């Protein structure tokens, strides 16, 4: 047997990254549809690191099963799947993968927006079904993005990258965010507005804020009803930000123009009504899914675990950990 540290992983990673990890650690890869993380970790009490994924909640209960854990390295920028408070109380580091996926996720936002606005998926289906009978002046009329108002909720790294892309397409950017961005307002001309204003003025409403219970169903029936009737909703953030059943009804009734979704309220389940509608484009939570980005996410996770297992403060700590005062920080 090996005396390398035991590191548990609940999805496979890109082969290059995983081979590297296997050479460093005793990497235990447990994969499966309905994974019970508490059981997995109970069976591995010697585990010192967990590489976690947004599909597996790391709850207080889960943490009780793992006495020797030193770090949870989340392979995602969003970390609402982790009870960070419970981890901090137990002196367990929590890291994530910011920055490296910003461009890929912003690209996915534009991909969904363009697909909805120009009916790319509908058109593809038409052609494949043999329904393209020849050019016509009114075939697959879509919506112009030039001059449209892009309303961004959450002007962080990803929101800003989406804003830059929107600008390049000739859109005007308004935003609502926890904090104002004076530099972006001054240099790029983005306008901060109240949330209600944003909802009512935006031609495209695009979500780029982290999920927490505080913003559960931020986009609900009443918000959808106040959007412009031809507006698009784009969600590449987290499913439960949107009341998915209300959105499906609204898209069916035509109370907004369309939607592009990368994430779902009950992933991997998708509201069945959504899958019958032509005015929504559905992606399988693949916002950061480029080879380049996934490689970098893997390296980032690896570096965080390496540092933590060497007794150092790991890079890429989540906000709550970074904000801890050193004197209350059990590990510094």
* Residues known to be catalytic: 238, 267, 285
Window 219-278: residues binding ligand GLV (CB under 6 A): none
> Binding of ligand GLV at residue 77 (CB under 6 A)?
yes
- The distance of closest approach from Cβ of residue 50 to ligand GLV in the complex, given in angstroms and rounded to an integer, is 16
**Binding residue for ligand GLV, selected from 11, 24, 143, 157, defined by CB under 6 A:** 157
Nearer to ligand GLV, 78 or 314 (CB): 78
Window 171-230: residues binding ligand GLV (CB under 6 A): 208
Q: Residue 64 and residue 83: Cα distance in Å, rounded?
A: 12
Nearer to ligand GLV, 65 or 219 (CB): 219
259 vs 157, 233, 263, CA distance in Å? Answer: 22, 5, 12
H or E segment to which residue 261 belongs: strand 258-261
Dihedral of the alpha carbons of 68, 296, 109, 175, in degrees to the nearest 10: 70
Pick the closest to residue 85 from 287, 325, 289, 320 (CA basis): 320
Q: Residue 313 and residue 131: Cα distance in Å, rounded?
A: 59
- Nearest-CB residue for ligand GLV: 156
> Binding of ligand GLV at residue 98 (CB under 6 A)?
yes
Q: Residue 178 and residue 210: Cα distance in Å, rounded?
A: 11
Nearer to ligand GLV, 66 or 108 (CB): 108
The answer to whether the bond into 268 is cis (omega within 30° of 0) is yes
Q: Which stretch binds ligand GLV (CB under 6 A): 24-32, 74-82, 130-138, 308-316?
A: 74-82
- The distance of closest approach from Cβ of residue 208 to ligand GLV in the complex, given in angstroms and rounded to an integer, is 5
Provide the 10 A C-beta neighbour count for residue 75.
Answer: 22
> Binding of ligand GLV at residue 101 (CB under 6 A)?
yes
> Binding of ligand GLV at residue 288 (CB under 6 A)?
yes
> Binding of ligand GLV at residue 78 (CB under 6 A)?
yes
Q: Residue 49 and residue 51: Cα distance in Å, rounded?
A: 7
**Binding residue for ligand GLV, selected from 158, 250, 281, 306, defined by CB under 6 A:** 158
> Binding of ligand GLV at residue 159 (CB under 6 A)?
yes
Nearer to ligand GLV, 65 or 321 (CB): 321
101 vs 56, 104, 123, 127, 197, CA distance in Å? Answer: 20, 5, 29, 33, 29
Q: What pairs with residue 258 in β-bridges?
A: 232
Nearer to ligand GLV, 160 or 271 (CB): 160
> Binding of ligand GLV at residue 156 (CB under 6 A)?
yes
How much helix, strand and coil, in percent to the nearest 5, is found in the chain? 40, 15, 45
Nearer to ligand GLV, 158 or 218 (CB): 158
Residues in contact with ligand GLV, shown as a per-residue x/- string from 33 to 72 under the rule CB under 6 A: ---------------------x------------------
Q: Residue 145 and residue 114: Cα distance in Å, rounded?
A: 8
Contact set with ligand GLV (CB under 6 A)? 54, 76-78, 98, 101, 156-159, 208, 287-288
């Amino acid at each position: 047997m090996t005396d390398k540290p035991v590191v548990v992983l609940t999805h496979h990673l890109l082969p290059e990254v995983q081979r590297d990890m296997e050479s460093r650690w005793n990497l235990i890869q447990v994969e499966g549809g309905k994974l019970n993380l508490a059981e997995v970790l109970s069976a591995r009490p010697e585990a010192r690191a967990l590489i976690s994924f947004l599909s597996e909640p790391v709850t207080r209960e889960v943490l009780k099963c793992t006495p020797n854990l030193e770090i949870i390295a989340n392979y995602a920028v969003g970390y609402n799947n982790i009870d960070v408070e419970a981890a901090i109380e137990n002196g367990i580091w929590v890291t994530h993968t910011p920055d490296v996926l910003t461009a890929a996720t912003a690209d996915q936002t534009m991909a969904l927006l363009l697909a909805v606005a120009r009916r790319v998926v509908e058109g593809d289906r038409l052609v494949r079904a043999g329904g393209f009978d020849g050019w016509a002046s009114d075939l697959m009329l879509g919506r112009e993005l030039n001059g449209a108002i892009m309303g961004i909720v959450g002007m962080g790294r990803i929101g800003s990258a989406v804003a830059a892309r929107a600008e390049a397409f000739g859109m005007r950017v308004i935003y609502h965010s926890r904090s104002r961005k004076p530099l972006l307002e001054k240099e790029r001309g983005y306008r901060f507005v109240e949330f209600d204003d944003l909802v009512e003025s935006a031609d495209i409403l695009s979500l780029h804020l982290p999920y927490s219970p505080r913003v559960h169903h931020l986009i609900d029936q009443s918000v959808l009803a106040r959007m412009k009737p031809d507006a698009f909703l784009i969600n590449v953030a987290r499913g439960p930000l949107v009341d998915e059943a209300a959105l499906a009804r609204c898209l069916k009734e035509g109370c907004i123009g369309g939607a592009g979704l990368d994430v779902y309220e009950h992933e991997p389940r998708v509201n069945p009504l959504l899958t019958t509608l032509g005015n929504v484009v559905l992606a399988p939570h693949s916002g950061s899914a480029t080879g380049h980005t996934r490689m970098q996410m893997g390296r980032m996770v690896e570096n965080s675990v390496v540092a933590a297992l060497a007794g150092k403060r790991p890079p890429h700590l989540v906000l709550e950990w970074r904000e801890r005062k050193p004197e209350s920080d059990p590990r510094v």
